[in-house]
Chain A
Amino acid sequence: MKKNDFYLLGSIIILIAVGFLLMQLFKNEGSRLIVTIDGKEYMSFYLNEDTTYKIEHDDGEWNTFEIRDGYVKMIDASCPDKLCVKQGKAHYTNERITCLPNGVVLEIFGGEESDLDAIAE
Chain B
Amino acid sequence: MTHVYQRLLSLYPAAHRREFGDEMRAVFDEANHDSQDKTAAVRASFLAREFAGLIAGALREHVRVLANFDITDILSTRRFNMRNGFRFPKSTAILMTIILLGVIMAIQKGESIANSLPHVNPQIPPIVEGHSALLPPIALYVAFFYALGLIGWIILHALHRSGVHRLDDISEQTK
Q: Is the A/B pair a real complex?
A: no
